Amino acid sequence: MGNNTSLLSSKRGWLVTFCGTGINLALGILYSWSVFKGAIPGDWGWTNAQKALPYAVACFVFSLAMIPAGRLQDKIGPRWVATMGGVLVGIGFIVASLSGSSLWGFVIGFGILGGTGIGFGYASATPPAVKWFPPEKTGLITGIVVSGFGLASVYIAPLASKLLDVFSVSQAMMIFGVAFLVIVTILSQFLVNPPAKSNPSQSVSTVSFNNELSWKEMVSSGKFYVLWVTYFIGAGAGLTFISFAQDLGKKSLGELAFIAVAILAIGNAAGRIIAGFFSDRIGREKTIFYFLLAQAITVFILYLVKEGASWPIILLIILFIGGNYGSNLSLFPSATKDYFGLKNFGLNYGIVFTAWGASGLFLPWLNGKIRDLTGTNDLTFLVIVGLLLFGAFLIKIYSPSKKGTKTA
């Protein structure tokens, strides 16, 4: 009887995991903006800066929405919060569709409503999945769920391109809005937490510092600031150089540039799963250390070959850039759960996730500023490499696992 119950629990856990992955695959609709931006008719009169605004607002609102969404997820459960996310994304795209050529219609629809919906869905996908599994699988399960978001651009960009071959920007936005409202809402119904008494993640484990901290207790601890700073550096490095690496790939591949986009997405998704898997075995801090170091080496190699290299080398660099960036989206939620517990995981990770939002705003801006002042972005490469080495040093000297046992 016990074995049958365990088997049913495992099956339910995997169902929740794959539905969470599916929701993230849908929420990767964020990546469709690069295609929509290129299809905006000239008679709309949008400048390049205005074309970038809906996406920038969506990313910023996404990172902010993770905090209230995480709080709600902790309080009322993932199903309803994810459902709200799907509804908001769908309505946002429909609003943008109906706004004609209005910039502010797209900022409100795609940027504010869409960004909020993505935050609500993303915040609800991982917590229920990890709760169905023992602590020693936290990294792997987190990596699988968040890999959906990283892999989304493989199908979102070509799908958007195909739609725009047939329909106008507004019509394609309407199709996406209705489709993803339905898909995310349906998948959200399967996001449920395990019964409290049978929650495998609450079993006795090797983690000696899983203390179920409130957000106030979390932000009062040194662990939080180490996580936040290293997350800021790791994510920011990826966000700064992903577009640069893609452009380099397009330059070397010409008409086959879509391969560079696909390789980046595959690396992004694979990095999340691989980092999660290894962190379950060797510990979060060691894995963060190795990936930050690998990221520093990759960025430096990119700096050396940025004037041109053979396409196989460029694709390999793009794969590693994507993989190193993706690792952050798996490692830091897993570490947040390890350090601060599951009870307030949604809210706590929402606060930790502000590092991603802050880095996405600041480091690409810094790159632009450096380019304006010096005429090149050479200094950006060296600054980012220095930051990555500092992050690796920081996580190396501050390792909670040395004070307890290995992280799980």
Splitting the chain (408 residues) into consecutive groups of 10 residues, what average pLDDT does each group show?
56 94 91 83 87 87 93 93 96 94 94 95 94 92 94 86 91 94 96 76 46 90 94 91 70 72 88 95 94 94 79 86 93 94 91 91 82 85 95 86 41
Please check whether residue 27 is in contact with residue 149, taking contact to mean a CB–CB distance below 8 angstroms: yes
Question: Which residue range(s) make up the domain with 176?
Answer: 1-193
109 & 231 share domain? no
Q: Which residue has tokens 């459960």?
A: 77
Q: What's the confidence (pLDDT) of residue 318?
A: 87
The pLDDT assigned to 98 comes to 95
Does 187 fall in a domain? yes
Residues 215, 161 within the same domain? no
d(CA 132, CA 230): 28
317 and 237 fall within a common domain: yes
pLDDT the model gives residue 375: 84
Show which of 159, 193, 227 is a domain's final residue. Answer: 193
Examine residue 403 and state whether it is found in any structural domain, yes or no: no
Q: Does 198 fall in a domain? A: no
List, in sequence order, the alpha helices (H) in 138-221: 138-151, 153-166, 169-188, 215-219
Can you give the pLDDT at residue 208? 42
Answer yes or no: do 259 and 370 share one domain. Answer: yes
CATH number assigned to the domain comprising residue 102: 1.20.1250.20
The answer to whether residue 12 is domain-embedded is yes
Number of domains making up the chain: 2
User: What is 108-161 written as a DSSP string?
Assistant: IIIIIIIHHHHHHHHHHHHHHHHHTS-GGGHHHHHHHHHHHHHHTHHHHHHHHH
**CA–CA gap between residue 387 and residue 194 (Å, rounded):** 40
Distance from C-alpha of 303 to C-alpha of 306, rounded to nearest angstrom: 5
- Residue 404 domain-assigned (yes or no): no
Q: Reduced to 3 states, what is the DSSP secondary structure of residue 228?
A: helix
Q: Which residues contact 50 (CB under 8 A, 6 or more apart)?
A: 103
The residue assigned the tokens 């380019």 is 371
Residues 135 and 258 in one domain: no
Q: Which of 282, 284, 293 is nearest to 223 (CA)?
A: 284
**Residue 213: C-alpha distances to residues 208, 290, 293, 317, 332 (Å):** 13, 27, 30, 39, 16
Per-residue pLDDT at 3 = 56
- Mark whether 132 and 242 lie in a shared domain: no
- Whether residue 201 lies inside any domain: the answer is no
Same-domain status, 143 and 32: yes
What's the Rg (C-alpha) of the chain? 21
- pLDDT at position 161 is 85
Q: Is residue 5 part of a domain?
A: yes
Sign of CA dihedral 107, 112, 117, 123: positive
* String of DSSP letters for 329-345: HHHHHHHHHHHH-STTH
Q: What is the DSSP-derived secondary structure letter of residue 193?
A: P
Do the domain assignments include residue 313? Answer: yes
**208 vs 316, 330, 393, CA distance in Å?**
39, 21, 24
